A and B are shown apart, each in its own frame.
Chain A
Amino acid sequence: MIRREHWSRKGFLAANYIGLTGLSLTMLLPFLNVIAQSLSGAAAIDRGDVMFWPVDFTLNYYRYVFDDISIWRAFGITVYITVVGTLINLTFTSSLAYPLSRTEYVGRKYVLLFILMTMIFTAPLIPQFMLMREIRLINTLWALMIPTAISAFNLIVLRSFFAQIPAELIDSARMDGCGELRILWSLMLPLSKPALATVGIFYSVTNWNKYMDALYYLNDRRLYPLQVKLRELLINDDLVDTGNLPFDIASQSVQGVQMAVILVATLPIIMLYPFMQRYFIKGMLIGSIKS
């Protein structure tokens, strides 16, 4: 009996390791396929010869991507909304999270409820759009940054972190004559670097990936961020139909170009990932436990 139990356990463990390894490969191999195709010759891609290693190595697609000014512009806009947008996010979020973390703030329960309600009741798209038009944000890059200034989830993460900082510390700072702004700026924020990093990472990934808001609120193609530009390039038919391709289709592969664009647009996130990972798990936990 004990022996059988033992063997079934070993069998399960072996299956588990094999299964999890298989799952990890499923997550990884699509990336490798994208990388391989972006570096392979057109003929090899079309024959379906490219799996996870480049065939007939070429950098042509990257050359095409880097020569396209509109891609550069979209890239610049995305960098801009990621940097400026995230600064706006952090400013707005911490300036609300800090008061809400202090017991001196009478009525903070009501304010929190007021905020949590917005997570359950969301307004339909059209009234949101009309508001944006009313305050003249349509066709400006502000439309990608202002309406998303605070995420309720991130606010709760930051508030919970602030709330853990001992009140005695704040009291003694007050004793030393620090005003609230000074306390926030020179005490709370430096002490909260890990939480700020977590929230900042969540915000910057959201800003980098912004697509929907641009689709809703921007008509001017010159303002399109990278994701929208990317989407245009990914719709095969459009590329071919409108004759957007400056090169001979026979010698270049549309798919190769697409894969190269995907990599260029993902690279910043891939490079940030190892640094991000240190923080986001902790951040997820604070946020979810408290809410």
Chain B
Amino acid sequence: MHKQATGEEGRLLLGFIWKYRTLYLLSIPGILYFLVFKYVPLLGSVIAFQNYNLFAGFGGSQWVGFEHFERMFQHYDFLRILKNTLVLGALDILIAFTAPIVLALLLNEVRLVLYKKIVQTIVYAPHFLSWVIVSGIFAGMLSPTSGIVNVIIGWFGVEPIYFLGENSYIRAILVGSGLWRDVGWGTIIYLAALTGINPELYEASEIDGAGRWKQTLKITLPSLLPVITVLFLLKIGDFMDYGFERVFVFQNPLNITDSEILDTYIYKAGLKQMQYSYATAIGLFKSVVGLFLLVIANALSRKATGESLY
């Protein structure tokens, strides 16, 4: 009896699918795209455990277990690069993650609609520039001979500084340029969440004698908390992904000690020096750490705030 029913359901389902077959056919190219370009390379990561040989291919290459991972940790350069990646990741969370929240709160206090619109238009704009352009603008402004920054500090009697040519400035430049490009863009989602707050909450608290500052602490921030949590979790998942491009465009031989990160190192070790398996091992390590952080942060956040990604 039971079997018969499921058989019937199955037939019904098949009939249903057949009826809407165009829908399914339509979705095939897109699904294939994800399969080929996202999942196949993921499987290809197995070469991290091989001594991948171009001519032998996956099947013919020798399996070496965790050899490449061991080599990675023994390499003294690797630890420095890992440290750079972690420091930049931490700075990014500390500064680049919190700045848009603060900016959104400040923009929210503005009552002149036109002024607010103008400020928003201006602060969103840099987001659409490529990192190459951003690096060009910053390199121009920081140039020791003609850059505007050196001209201005020159007025105060400071000798010209070759900012991009010194390790000690590169992190500040990376974080600063990222902030310049993306701080405004980051506010969009918070501003949207702010417009969703029930105005009655504010009216009620005003009657209770709460000032703007108290309202911000007791109403505004708690209302933003779900959005902040979700974005924070996503950010944590990307902790090791400071981004190849934004670092690579600022790199030069003079600042490389502090600016080399895992992504740029993978590019050089992998594509330039063709150490395929070694570079894949580093890439895999990076993904696994990111995933691990995401899972931990998600569990912690579920306990602490009740918000979680999944």
Contact = CB atoms under 8 A, between A and B. Distances in A.
A190 B74 CA distance: 59
B132 A230 contact: yes
Interface string A182-200: 0010000000000000000
Nearest to A262: B136
B189 A284 contact: yes
Nearest to B22: A180
B211 A181 contact: no
A127 B280 contact: yes
Given A33-B141, A48-B154, A125-B279, A234 B136 contact: yes
Contacts of A147: 37
B212 A92 contact: no
A208 B132 CA distance: 12
A92 B27 CA distance: 9
Contacts of A99: 23-24, 26-27
B252 to A, nearest CB: 8
A26 B271 contact: no
B8 interface: no
Contacts of A150: 30, 33-34
A105 B27 contact: yes
B20 A120 contact: no
Contacts of B282: 124
B199 interface: no
Given A20-B106, A150-B30, A285 B188 contact: yes
B184 interface: yes
B123 A24 contact: yes
A179 interface: yes
Interface string A101-121: 010111000010011001011
Given A24-B119, A262-B133, 10 more contacts: A16-B109, A28-B122, A95-B26, A99-B26, A123-B45, A125-B279, A126-B280, A147-B37, A211-B245, A262-B140
Closest 6 CB pairs of A and B: A124-B283, A96-B30, A127-B44, A123-B41, A209-B130, A180-B22
12 contacts: A20-B119, A27-B123, A95-B27, A98-B23, A99-B23, A126-B44, A131-B36, A150-B33, A209-B131, A227-B133, A231-B132, A269-B128
